[in-house]
Amino acid sequence: VSSGFARVDAARVRALREQLDRELGAALVVKDDGVTLEAYGRDESGLGPFLADLVVFPSDTAQVQAVIRACQRHAVPVVPVGARTGKSGGSLPVCGGVALALEKMNRILQVDPDDLVAVVQPGVVLGALVAEVESKGLFYPPDPNSWETCTLGGNVAENAGGPRALKYGVTRDYVLALEWVLPSGEVVRAGHRTAKGVAGYDLVGLFVGSEGTLGVATEITLRLLPKPRAVRVALVSFRTVADATGAVGRVLSGGFLPRALELLDDVVLRAVAGKGVSFHPESRAVLLIELDGTRDDAVLEDLLEVAARCEEAGALDTQVAQDEAQREALWRVRRLVSPGLRALCGGKLSEDVVVPRSRISEAVERFKAIGARHGLVIATYGHAGDGNLHTNVLFSGPEDNPRVQLALDEIMGVTLLLGGTITGEHGVGLAKKKYLPGELGPSRLALERAIRVTLDPEFRLNPGKLFEQS
């Protein structure tokens, strides 16, 4: 595969492997068969494959440390890998070398209802943690779409978000402490088991979202919340996206902070039409609005006031789920969006730009116009509460790629012009690397590079990602 990235020299990899065999022997699982290399060469970004030379499966912190030290010694790149559900190519081993797969470190070490804390290894699947904490009446809010398969190490590396971010924040807001192997191979512990703590710099914050470039998390301490006892959802239809975002403003200014405020535009509605939920015939946008709290009657009363506020803002109609089955049916619409859009055209490229809340409607219009100029259909859905838009460029096949790339460049440009950011939850990785300098500007890019150099002078960890060494 020609990728534009310099691959590591084979002799170095051989020397590395000999050292690993000597030091760790059979205790460390190492694979280099074609099937494994191919599997670890891809993620959900659609980029790749980029083949590692070796995929290693450490089972504890000491093994992670030994692998990273050996990679430093033999000048071999090393890329931490979770469940490969990433959307930006962040875990792809573009320069070859070692893919460091954390999936064997998959133990939930502790769920403590008194301290409202969970301690997990990086390979724990988010869905497994959710099941465990909810069985104890607790709540871990971050809910990326891939929650059933993604792992917490990946969530931390990418600072995963999800629909609940408006009210509950993102992964970063729940990481209390980390044990982490630095690019030097040293183990550092940062953060606290307590929710508060201001001693020293916020190294946890620096690590979360660093996309596998500043080290490898080997133990993650998470903040939990009491589980809300009541949840209610409604689907509200509008004539336009502008009406829908106007309604969002009226809801928020009424003192309501929904746990989800999902927007679907007209193309998305076409994609999910006839799949179990019917929309008002004039609907060209809908909001899925979910509230939670302690008392079902109070949450329902709130939801009815929210619906009334939406109607004042021009809503066509409101469907309030009356029970858990109806709630599930409304959320099913949201989950059908991605496959539905793919079925509309054949292929799609899903972005995750963010614009200030007041610019959502303008952004959706401008993205559509960009698509029209390039003969492409653009669909937008996403988190209307925080402006995080999953703008999808639909296409028929690989022959559309040049037009798709041009449209994407323009979408990123408009996003930055509107005061937004190129990625709200997927990360930069490989997919958005070329747009990063435009967002950060030279001073900030230089500062980030200086910090990375301080921790990893040779860019041994995840080279080729985020930005180059110089």
Contacting its own copies within 339-378 (CB under 8 A)? 354-358
Nearer to its own copies, 158 or 266 (CB): 158
Contact residue for its own copies among 4, 22, 26, 196 (CB under 8 A): 196
Q: Which residues does residue 421 pair with via DSSP β-bridges, in sequence order?
A: 354
Within 10 angstroms of residue 256's Cβ, the number of other Cβ atoms is 17
Contact residue for its own copies among 30, 108, 128, 182 (CB under 8 A): 182
> What is the closest distance, in whole angstroms, from the C-beta atom of residue 420 to its own copies in the complex?
6
> What is the closest distance, in whole angstroms, from the C-beta atom of residue 435 to its own copies in the complex?
8
Q: Of the candidates 210, 8, 213, which has an alpha carbon nearest to the alpha carbon of residue 98?
A: 8
Element (H, E) at 139: strand 138-139
Nearer to its own copies, 1 or 298 (CB): 298
Cα distance between residue 334 and residue 262, in whole Å: 8
Residue by residue, DSSP assigns 361-406 as HHHHHHHHHHHHHTT-EEEEEEETTTTEEEEEEEESSGGGHHHHHH
If binding is defined by CB under 8 A, does position 401 make contact with its own copies? no
CB half-sphere exposure, 269, CA atoms < 13 A: 23
Cβ neighbors of 468 (< 8 A, separation 6 or more) are: 459
> What is the closest distance, in whole angstroms, from the C-beta atom of residue 153 to its own copies in the complex?
16
Cα distance between residue 335 and residue 277, in whole Å: 12
Nearer to its own copies, 41 or 382 (CB): 382
In the chain, what is the straight-line distance between the N-terminal and C-terminal CA atoms, in Å? 24
Q: Which stretch binds its own copies (CB under 8 A): 52-60, 225-233, 334-342, 390-398?
A: 225-233
> What is the closest distance, in whole angstroms, from the C-beta atom of residue 241 to its own copies in the complex?
15
If binding is defined by CB under 8 A, does position 198 make contact with its own copies? yes
Nearer to its own copies, 254 or 402 (CB): 254
Element (H, E) at 174: none
Q: Which stretch binds its own copies (CB under 8 A): 98-106, 123-131, 220-228, 282-290?
A: 220-228
Nearer to its own copies, 187 or 329 (CB): 187
Nearer to its own copies, 25 or 441 (CB): 441
Q: Which of residues 263-302 bind its own copies (CB under 8 A)?
A: 293-295, 297-298, 301-302
> What is the closest distance, in whole angstroms, from the C-beta atom of residue 363 to its own copies in the complex?
11
Q: How many of the chain's residues bind its own copies (CB under 8 A)?
A: 96
E strands present in 279-333: 285-293, 317-320
Element (H, E) at 221: strand 216-223
Going residue by residue from 417 to 446, which x/- string records binding to its own copies, judged by CB under 8 A?
Answer: --xxxxxxxxxx---x---x--xxx-xxx-
> What is the closest distance, in whole angstroms, from the C-beta atom of residue 2 to its own copies in the complex?
28
Q: Which of residues 110-169 bind its own copies (CB under 8 A)?
A: 112-117, 137, 158-159, 161, 165-166, 169
Q: Which stretch binds its own copies (CB under 8 A): 3-11, 33-41, 77-85, 193-201?
A: 193-201
Cβ neighbors of 214 (< 8 A, separation 6 or more) are: 182, 183, 206, 207, 451, 452, 455, 456, 461
Burial letters 220-250, b for 16+ CB under 10 A, else e: bbbbbeeebeebbbbbbbbbbbbbbbbbbeb
Nearer to its own copies, 113 or 276 (CB): 113
Contact residue for its own copies among 200, 274, 281, 397 (CB under 8 A): 200
